Amino acid sequence: MSAIPAKRDLVLGIETSCDETAAAVVRRGEPGFGASVLSNIIASQNDLHAEYKGVVPEIASRAHAERILPIVRAALTQSGLSLKDLGAVAVGNKPGLIGSLLVGVAAAKALAWSLRIPVIGVDHVRAHLYAGCLDAPLPAFPALGLVVSGGHTSLYHCPSLTRATRLGGTIDDAAGEAYDKAATILGLPFPGGPNLDRLAQRGDASHAPVRFPISRLGRDSLDFSFSGLKTAVLYAVRGVPSRPGEPQPPPPDLDDRARADLAAAFQKAAIGAVTLKLGRALDRHPECRTLLVGGGVTANSLLRSELTRMGAERGLDVRLPKMAYCLDNAAMIAGLAHHLLDARGWTTDPLTMTAEPTTAF
């Protein structure tokens, strides 16, 4: 038996950084294992933002305020536990939409204060890298990290579960953002990423009328750029703008087949850009035998198969998160919090802990 009191085995996680209101209860893993998920409740706001084809911050924060307590209650019920069983409350406090983050931070602080247990703010991007360790053996370090989400596309060198150095990242749009914008251009409903992925699986990139560019940004760059790809999709769908004085050419006539082929060509270029830079980073860091990946785009069918292929080719332990832990969730927040709390002796963050829209991570 562990000498650590049982209460310290149970952490409630809260996540409200964008448009998912989420709560989860996780238990300390057995020695050598990541945290074990007892409950994982996620309330999506897709229906509220669909008509705007993007997340409206004011609507998101209002919905979080309405939903946070029922969602926490549902997470406790699903875990079979009650508030008095908890050893700490963890909350994603950065980065994200400030109004959305504030709802989760206020709820976490109030719960922790009333229960007299520690509260800890957790970096959302760092937590995405932990998602593949939930309910799984802990991996070997150092590891290479890849976060691909709606807000981030970054590579990291991770000496341990709780430390990471950024190697590169996007200089404009994130991969998920490019997916969402390309989906809107192709006339697909919100949320764009998963719908474009589904359409792409019915298409054939080699039949598309254009080959989309993969931005390399120099031979040694570990940065990403997706804005050129997004513009190329716009031109392929609406036609290339005319030069001054010349007549505007009509947009190409796109039937369902042609849209599916364009979606497949976009998917090939977007995921190709991610795997190109990941390959470069792995070449530069051969000491990394583990690949930690996370973020909404890791739910993508082509990225998942490419990562599995790269892992087999290079003999890597690839930590692809289960689908439920790819998108924003609170299990990854509470899971990482266990390790952060252990490292600092379960001290609490002060009640002045704030929400922060950006991260230095």
> Six-digit token pair at 133?
């360790």
Look at strands 153-160 and 163-169 and give their pairing.
antiparallel
128-131-132-138 Cα dihedral, nearest 10 degrees? 110
State yes or no: residue 170 binds Zn ion (CB under 5 A).
Answer: no
Q: Which does 191 bind (CB under 5 to 8 A by kind): ligand KG4, Zn ion, none?
A: ligand KG4
| Binds 139: which of ligand KG4, Zn ion, none (CB < 5-8 Å by kind) | none
Q: Collapsing DSSP states into helix, strand and coil, what is residue 25? A: strand
Binding segment toward Zn ion, per CB under 5 A, in 4-12, 88-96, 170-178, 321-329: 321-329
Instruction: Find the shortest distance in angstroms from Cβ 303 to ligand KG4.
Output: 7
The least CB distance from residue 170 to Zn ion, in Å, is 14
Q: Of the listed pieces 5-13, 46-54, 141-149, 164-172, which binds Zn ion according to CB under 5 A?
A: 141-149
d(CA 260, CA 82) in angstroms, rounded, equals 49
Cα separation, 304 vs 274, in Å, equals 12
Tell me which of ligand KG4, Zn ion, none is bound by residue 197, counting a contact when its beta carbon lies within the kind-specific cut-off of 5 to 8 angstroms.
ligand KG4
Angstrom distances, CA of residue 263 to CA of 184, 319, 327: 11, 27, 21
Q: Is 328 in the site for Zn ion (CB under 5 A)?
A: yes
Q: Which positions touch ligand KG4 (CB under 6 A)?
A: 18, 149-151, 176-177, 179-180, 191-194, 197, 295-297, 299-300, 327-328
Question: For Zn ion, what does the binding mask look like between residues 98 and 137, x meaning CB under 5 A?
Answer: ----------------------------------------
Least separation in angstroms between CB 214 and ligand KG4: 16
Torsion (CA) 49, 53, 57, 59 in degrees, nearest 10:
-20
Q: Which helix (H) or strand (E) holds 318?
A: strand 317-319
Backbone angles phi, psi at 77, to 5 degrees: -60, -45
- Residue 327 binding target from ligand KG4, Zn ion, none, CB below 5 to 8 Å by type: ligand KG4
| C-alpha closest to that of 118 among 329, 343, 332 | 343
Residue 15 near which of Zn ion, ligand KG4, none (CB within 5-8 Å, type-dependent): none
Q: How far is the CB of 156 from Zn ion (least distance, A)?
A: 15
DSSP codes, 103-170? HHHHHHHHHHHHHT--EEEEEHHHHHHHGGGTTSBPPPSSEEEEEESSS-EEEEEEEETTEEEEEEEB
Q: Cβ of residue 123: shortest distance to ligand KG4, in angstroms?
A: 12
Closest CB 192 distance from ligand KG4, rounded Å: 5
- Residue tagged 């009333």 (tokens): 114
Task: Pick between residue 145 and residue 150 the one whose CB is nearest to ligand KG4.
Answer: 150
Cβ nearer to Zn ion, comparing 16 with 215 = 16
Smallest gap from residue 85 Cβ to ligand KG4 (A)? 28
Nearer to ligand KG4, 54 or 252 (CB): 54
Q: How far is the CB of 125 from Zn ion (least distance, A)?
A: 7
Among 149, 153, 225, 275, binds Zn ion (CB under 5 A): 149
Interstrand relation of 10-15 and 20-27 (parallel, antiparallel or unpaired): antiparallel
Both tokens assigned to 190: 């919100």
Residues forming the site for Zn ion (CB under 5 A): 149, 328
